Structures are given as structure tokens and as C-alpha cells.
Structure 1
Amino acid sequence: MVQILRDVDVESELFTQLTDVSVKLNTQMSPRIINDLVNALIARGETKLTPAKAKKVISSANNHLLLSRVDPHEAVGITTAQSIGEPGTQMTMRTFHYAGVATVNVTQGLPRIIEIVDARKVPNTPTMRIYLDENNAKGKPLRTNEKLVQEIAAGLETTTTRDIANIDVDITQRHISLSLNTANLRVKKMNGAEVRDKLSRALRLFVQADNDDKPKVLKIIPGIAKEEELATLASDPPTYTALLQLEEKIKKLRLKGLPDIMRANVQGPNAETGEYYISTIGSNLSKVSEYAGVDRGRTYTNNITEIHNYLGIEAARQAIINEMLLTLEGAGLDVDVRHLLMVADVMTSEGEVRAIGRHGVSGTKHSILARSAFEVTVTHLLRAGIIGERDELRGVTENIIVGQPISLGTGSVELYYIPEE
């Protein structure tokens, strides 16, 4: 309940008053709806209500809530499909620049909608928005201190060997040399000795340095794990293949940061709060949430699969709604949120995020004809014939195929006239 009421001021006098009236009138209004009413009243300059007016507000809101419900047996699925599909034809195959970085784009428009309904494991442009705690472990302000935020961003961002060194392969001498970039090391809050130590432990090889305290050039030879083994190099030199394999391994080696966080940029400050946040290219919700100083209650990713794995199916359902709503609004399209709720419910009703397609929702329909009408018609019909599957013709698609009224709306009611004798 704490998470649901996160942005609700439960101590507000108006909120308490309207909640009490709602309970007395036995309405089905959630705290979120009552909070919206409170915000609307405050926006109109009303901070206090008489008991009669409070009752009128709740009664009116409850009546609107009841009127917004669908009629029994209404074809909500078809309505949802049409309400999203038709505006979707106006969407463009476009992308937006991401977080002020001209070289990076984030998928939007129709491609993003397709990603969501296809339940892609990893979106084309995974991103995160990382918020920080108010204070750090030492009690000093964190989220408003740009320098400390920059340090956290540097710690989150993946740093590979190529980010801090120029890698050269000396074929004649059969070794790989790394010329460390001092400026990049300074940005990454690293030093040459640290790089040497991490390379040695990760590769399990002896790493030579031009200077033990402040190395600038490192040399690595395939197969040489100890300094004493250098004496055998002349008689048993490494092969050319081993040299190339080691080069590829060194290039991909992660020296610092979290996996999949390719870039971390500090954004802000907020004009009102002075708060900074970190936007990333790449996503790793579980690791980022455990990082010191990160406010995991507000940190967000556009990777719905990660949200499902880390926070559960309810969080994934809400993420589907948020992402679809954000994408549609970004395209200037007005789609009732209840249609998005329907899509999210269908995708997550089985306890996992399923795609709207033959590998997900459409492929697991009970009706043989409905499955066949979507894709791979022959396969579905053949399998159904082999196992003797029966179609009860309860849905829309299968009844249209066989040419009989659908069992929705007026078709769900059988009306008989019995004349008097």
C-alpha cells in the first residue's frame, strides 16, 4: 500500500475529508482517484469543503465513475484493437534525440509500440533514468551535488580497455602493448596501477609496465603468467592465433562499471529542487538498484523484461501502460488509457509478459479458427485435426469465419416471444 500511495498526500485535510465521505457512501473510489479530486479542488482555489459540498463532490465523481464502466457483454477487445490500431496508422517511423546527446537516439513512434506489444526481451535503445538518495552514506547532500553525482555516473558507466588505452599488436615481438590515455583515466577516476592489476587478475597473465608506480605503457604476452616465464619466450613464442585471440579478449574486458550501462550522463539540475539525475544508454535495473546512493524507488528503465524480472508482473504491467501512453502522447495521439489497460492486462494475465502474436497471446487462444486466422493457418488446422481438437465458437473471429452471429453485445442475449394463448 505504501507504493500505491507514494505520490498521495494522505495527511491532507481535504483527502481525509473526502475519504471519510467516500467510505460513508460506500463508493468504490480508490485513494488515487480521491487524490486527483483533491488536486483539482486545490487548483480551483478550494482548500476547505462543507460536509454538504464534500458529499456532492464524491457523489458526482462516483456517478461519473459508474457511467464510465462498459456495458455487460460489450466487445471491449475489438474496441481496444480499433482504438489503438486506427491512431497507430498516423504514427511515424521516427526516433528522438536522447538526453541531449546528439549522437544517440531513442526509439519512439510506431517502432516502439511494436517493441512493446511484441514483448521484446531487449528494446532497440534501452535507457534508464536514475535518481539518487537525498544524502550519501556520510550524511552529505547527494542528489543536489553535481560533483558527487558525476562520480556515481562514472562508477555506473561501463569502462572497457579500449576506453582508456590504445591497443597495439606487435606481430614481430609477439606481444600486445597498451598505451594508457591519462585524460581518459582521470575522467574514469582510475590510474595506471589499477588498470594493470585488473588486467592481470582478469587475464591471469603477467602484465609488464614501464613504471611500477605510475605506468603509462603496459605489455602483455600470451601464455606468460609469471615474470619468470619470460626466459622461455625465445624458445617457445606465442602463436599468431593466440595473439589475436588475446587482443579480442582485452578489447572486450570490462575494467569498471556495471554490465550493459554503455554511457551515463548527468542531467539537471531541476529548476525547482536543484536535483540532478543520471540518464543512461543501456539498462541493468537489478545492478543499478543495488548501487550505493541510488534511489531505487524512483529509478526507471524502459526495458519491460528487466522490470518483470526484478520487480514482478504487476510492475511490468504498469510499465507497459506507461511506455505505451508515453509513446502515443509523444506522437500527439489521444488514446483512452483504458484501452492500454486492456492490452497490459492481456499481456500479463498469465503471470509473465506475453507478446501479442502467434508466439504469445494470439498463438494460445482456445479457438482453432482464431489461431489459424492469425498466422500459419495450415499448421494450426493440421495439428487440431491430428489431436481431434474441438472449437466451441465462443469468440468473435471464429464466429465471423463460419458466418454466424457473435456471442457479444446483443448477440449474447437470446430473446423469445411467447404469445398468450
Structure 2
Amino acid sequence: MTFLYNLGIYFYALATRVAALFNPKAKLFVSGRKNWKQQLKSGVDSQADYLWFHCASLGEFEQGRPVIEEVRKEFPQYKIALTFFSPSGYEIRKNYDGADLVAYLPLDTKSNVRYFLDVLQPRKAFFVKYEYWYNYIHQLKQRNIPLYIVSAIFRENQSFFKNSLWGKWYRKMLFSFEHIFIQNEKSAQLLEKIDITNYTIAGDTRFDRVAAIAKSAKKFENVEKFKGNSPLIIAGSTWKPDEELLAAFINNSRGVKFILAPHEVAPANINRIHQLLKKKAISFSKVQNTAIEEFDVLIIDSIGILSSLYQYGNIAYIGGGFGVGIHNILEAATFKLPIIFGPNYLKFKEAVDLVEEKGAFPIDDSNSLNKALNRLLEDKNELANASGICQKYVEKNVGSTKVIIKKVFNT
């Protein structure tokens, strides 16, 4: 099975090189790893002790960030190395000042792994949520470097829990972790079934992250002016199916302001959204020296500010639910916003929890979206109740980072 895995990595590398010829993301994936050995060698301080954190992409980084920043504060004797698998994480966070070294993760071949670990020589390693690379995990175990996974969540249909040859081989990786920090009781039950007991139900570190965001949110005077005294619906990380549903509601609304923050902020996509709207709309990049209060819709055509914008909202719509899955709902929940999203949310514990508690509301078409929004806009008691539910949900789930730090560093 190890041979087949390594063969699969080889073909994956070949496929990405082919895809790089016509796919911009694949091109970044390949070009970002060119000369990685020289960059690693020059970037590592050979006299320092490193802690290595690895994240698949941007979402996992936000999940691991509270741990990184707490470690940096409490244990300044260590330097932090941060790696990403995906360009969508690295390209946005390559200048993150909470790490001393930020790099792409070299592909999981035996030779790459040996060189990477020989140069970095981390004292401890942390993988965030669900990164399982056999050669890295095997080599860390061989070198007696403690490996932890943070905010892991397991499901019954994962390979670890299948009795096939692949499943049994894949499962062995879990026994190489020093400790596994999981999010929920269901994950604990699954681990127990395969005789893994070195776990702690620590919860989800994202709650610590969004709580920190709420305390340090940026202020935007132009957004305050835009909102005025009107109720404000903020639609975050939207995709085309979300935007088409929302546009129909917006075009028929009265007395309500809207912020649309699409996942894709390329000019062509921003122009497409403008074309959908009959209401008076303006892009965020063009609000200077305008009477912004006269507009009904503010379209965010930049990245990095959405989490702070939620402080001005009354209701949130989170995109992705008509695609592979919803985006981060906790950033809105921490600001007490009731949340609406599409039908593909069942893989996200926080979404399932908030639907059950009636702080979030799934929709599957234009009619159900209209009903959900109108109910919250017209019934102040329901809006207040849903708002309180979201606030309490975040508050009761903070603290995962402290649990992890205490266990790892015996504090």
C-alpha cells in the first residue's frame, strides 16, 4: 500500500504540472514550490528551535491561528514555521507576521520529507484539522518528533474506519500522533472503535479565533454611514447561485440595506453582480467622496475585511450552500447575527447545531429565502431570540486553545 501511495503522489505531481499550463491556481501550486530547498535552507535559522504548524489552506489556518499566536506569546523561545498545501492559503498569508517562516509544503515524497525535516528539525509538529500525509507522519514518528493534530473531526465514512486493505493501512497513521485534539463526542466514539485513546475533546479553535476578531474588529465609518438606521443584511462569501437568489430578494425589497461580499472579487464577477441588481449599488473601492447613504447595496470588491463588517449587520447570509459547502458562519455568529445559508451544510457541526437551536436557517430556493428573511425582518422578537442564540453558542464554545496548550506543554 505504501508503494501505491507513493506512486499516487508521483502522478499527482505530474497532473499538477500539466494543469499548470492552463489553470492559474495549479500554476501557483507548481511555481510556488520551485527552488523550495534553497528557500527553506536560507529561511531557517539553524541555531533556533522551531515549532512547525501545517495547514491545508486558508480556512485551516484560521483554525490553527489561535494556537500559533498563543504559543508565540507563551513560549517566545521557539520560532514558528508555517506551511500551506494550497495556494489559496499561502498566497494570502505568506506575509503573516505571526510566523518566522511561511512556505509551501513540499509534496509528500520520501526525499522531500527527509530534506525538509533535516533542515527544519522541528521540536514539535502540529497539523490542523485533517491533513494526513503518510511520509511526513512516518518520518516524524521515526525521528521521535511529537506530532499533534488540532481541531480534528472524524466521520464514519472516512478511510480510517473501513476494513479494506487501504483503510487498515491508512488507519496506521493515526497511531503515529502523540495526541489528537478532536472537536466532538462522535469523533471520540469513532477513535475508540479502532482502539485509539490518546485524544482529548478540546472543541473547535475557530471559536477562539472569532472571539478575538470580535474584540479587535476594524471600524468603517463609511459603512456606518451607509447603514444609517436601516436594517442591514450582510451576505458573505457568496457564489453565483447565492447571488442570483439574493438579487431577486434585493430587487423587490424596501427599507433594507445590503452588503454583498462575494467569494470571487475579480472585476468580471463584480460587474456581473452589478448587472443582477436593479437597486442602486456601489463597489466598496469606489465609495470615497460619494454620498454612500444614498445607495441600497454595497458590494465588497476586496478581501480581508468581511469578518469586521459583520459588526454592522442585523442578519447574515453565508454562501457556498449550493456548492461544495458553506463558508465560515462563526464570524457572523460572534456578532450575534442570525444566519441563513443553502442546503449543503450538514458537514459543518456549528451549522447543524445552530439550525437545531434556531439561530440559523437553511434555505433551498427563492421562496424559502424570502420567507426566512421576511420573518426575521418583520418579527423583532424572533430576530432578537435568534441573535441571542448565536451569541451564546459562540460564548459557550471558546477555550479550545487553552486546553491544547495545557496538554502539549504541560502547563
TM-score category (smaller protein): under 0.3
Higher relative contact order (CA 8 A, sep 6+): 1
Higher strand share: 2
Q: Give TM-score, length-normalised by structure 1.
A: 0.27
More helix by share: 2
Between structure 1 and structure 2, the one with the greater Rg is: 1
